[in-house]
Amino acid sequence: MARSNRRHIFPLALLAAVGASLVVAPAAMAGFISPEHGGSPNADRIHTLYMLTLAVGIVVFVGVEGVLLYTLIKFRARKGAVAAQIHGNTRLEIGWTVGAAVILVVLAVVTFAALPGIRDPENSDASAAALTFPVVAHGEKKVPSDGRSLDIDVTGQQYVWRYRYPDGDDNPSNDAFSYTEMVVPIGVTVTLNIRAIDVAHSWWIPKLGGKMDAIPGYTNYAWFKISKPGVYRGQCAELCGRNHANMVAQVRAVPPDEYTAWIAKQKADIAAANTAVAASHGKLANDPQATP
Ligand SMILES: [Cu+2]
């Protein structure tokens, strides 16, 4: 009797451990089972789809494993037991085939219904409309239905991200730009044109939506809209060389007036740096001792 009790301890302990880990899983696994979210509505919709699929998966898992465990215990080997000879069960087999098909159809319908909300940019908040510019949809590029957004170029290169901010005129050479940290206003829909100039990279700030490849020779598109100020971190998500791990990115969302001030300062700093470079080039050109 004592021996058979001990024999049961291990499987019971294992069951308890699995049960306990399922209970603490949601907290411990946040951002693991489903990507991080909470920064932009498209990221939240991706999260909802993940959780819905996960819930269906858990129901199927518990059902299948439950029947399996029940059967293992109820029909375990006993002295003198004779196995029943069963020749299939048509109703049961049709049932689980149709059941699996119905689950797939439901998941497919829900996914296709949610896709436009993930793919198509929303309109900016009315209060932040002054910071948006007209954008044109073409090919794969989707734009908000009011035809306006803050359209930022994202360029990946070994091993840094560069961002160019539109200012409303047609001259890209006088636009503000920055590296690594992108600054954006809250309440504004930001559409991204994602490119690479050397090898393949991948743009991904998990809380702001799905990842998007940055491929030389192509332009890919993504969008986000942030409602609360904060810093949203990410990292190049495509192995792009030996310093790939250092190719970090972050988006800092600030109130609109702070954004306007930041752009102005960035432009002034860039102009001052260009002037300083031109001056030192001039000095070099006039210095007979300088070696080129
Ligand atoms: Cu990279």
Please give the distance, rounded to the nearest whole angstrom, from the Cα atom of residue 243 to the centre of ligand 1: 8
Please give the distance, rounded to the nearest whole angstrom, from the Cα atom of residue 160 to the centre of ligand 1: 7
Percent of the chain's residues with pLDDT above 90: 71
Please give the distance, rounded to the nearest whole angstrom, from the Cα atom of residue 198 to the centre of ligand 1: 10
Please give the distance, rounded to the nearest whole angstrom, from the Cα atom of residue 286 to the centre of ligand 1: 40
Split at pLDDT 50, 70, 90, the class of 127 is: confident
pLDDT attached to residue 1:
43
The length of the chain is 292
pLDDT attached to residue 17:
73
Please give the distance, rounded to the nearest whole angstrom, from the Cα atom of residue 199 to the centre of ligand 1: 8
The model's pLDDT over 98-114, given as tens digits with 9 standing for 90+, comes to 999 999 999 999 999 99
According to DSSP, the residues that pair with 8 across neighbouring strands are: none
DSSP single-letter state for residue 208? G
Token pair in block for residue 226: 């942030």
State which amino acid sits at residue 124: S
Please give the distance, rounded to the nearest whole angstrom, from the Cα atom of residue 213 to the centre of ligand 1: 10
Of 78-92, 118-132, 147-161, where does mean pLDDT reach its minimum?
78-92
Average model confidence (pLDDT) across the chain: 89
**Bridge-based pairing state of the strands 148-157 and 189-196:** parallel
Please give the distance, rounded to the nearest whole angstrom, from the Cα atom of residue 168 to the centre of ligand 1: 29
15 or 169: which carries more pLDDT confidence? 169
Q: Exposed (0-12), middle (13-18) or buried (19+): which is 43, by Cβ within 10 Å?
A: buried
State which amino acid sits at residue 157: Q
- The reply to whether omega before 159 is within 30° of 0 (cis) is yes
pLDDT attached to residue 247:
96
Split at pLDDT 50, 70, 90, the class of 37 is: confident
Please give the distance, rounded to the nearest whole angstrom, from the Cα atom of residue 167 to the centre of ligand 1: 27
**Bridge-based pairing state of the strands 148-157 and 160-165:** antiparallel
Please give the distance, rounded to the nearest whole angstrom, from the Cα atom of residue 180 to the centre of ligand 1: 12
| DSSP per position, 25-92 | HHHHTTTTSS---SSSHHHHHHHHHHHHHHHHHHHHHHHHHHHHHHHHHHT---TT---------HHH
CA distance 19 to 13: 10
Split at pLDDT 50, 70, 90, the class of 283 is: confident
CA distance 13 to 268: 66
Please give the distance, rounded to the nearest whole angstrom, from the Cα atom of residue 159 to the centre of ligand 1: 6
Q: Exposed (0-12), middle (13-18) or buried (19+): which is 194, by Cβ within 10 Å?
A: buried
Please give the distance, rounded to the nearest whole angstrom, from the Cα atom of residue 246 to the centre of ligand 1: 9
52: number of CA atoms within 13 Å, CB side?
A: 15
Q: Summarize the confidence of residues 46-56 as an average pLDDT.
A: 92
Please give the distance, rounded to the nearest whole angstrom, from the Cα atom of residue 237 to the centre of ligand 1: 7
pLDDT attached to residue 49:
92
CA distance 211 to 150: 19
Please give the distance, rounded to the nearest whole angstrom, from the Cα atom of residue 123 to the centre of ligand 1: 30
What domains appear along the chain, each with residue ranges and CATH number? 126-280 (2.60.40.420)
Please give the distance, rounded to the nearest whole angstrom, from the Cα atom of residue 181 to the centre of ligand 1: 15
247 or 210: which carries more pLDDT confidence? 247
Please give the distance, rounded to the nearest whole angstrom, from the Cα atom of residue 80 to the centre of ligand 1: 66
State whether residue 220 is helix, strand or coil: strand
Is the model's pLDDT at 63 over the cut of 50?
yes
Asked if residue 210 lies in contact with residue 222, where contact means CB atoms within 8 angstroms, the answer is: yes
Please give the distance, rounded to the nearest whole angstrom, from the Cα atom of residue 238 to the centre of ligand 1: 6
CA distance 235 to 8: 48
Q: What is the 3-state secondary structure (H, E, C) of 125-188?
A: CHHHHHHCEECCCECCECCCCCCEEEEEEEEEECCEEEEEECCCCCCHHHCEEEECEEEEECCC
225 or 289: which carries more pLDDT confidence? 225
The model's pLDDT over 139-186, given as tens digits with 9 standing for 90+, comes to 999 999 999 999 999 999 999 999 999 988 888 888 999 999 999 999
Centroid of chain to Cα 154: 16
Please give the distance, rounded to the nearest whole angstrom, from the Cα atom of residue 202 to the centre of ligand 1: 6
Is the model's pLDDT at 96 over the cut of 60?
yes
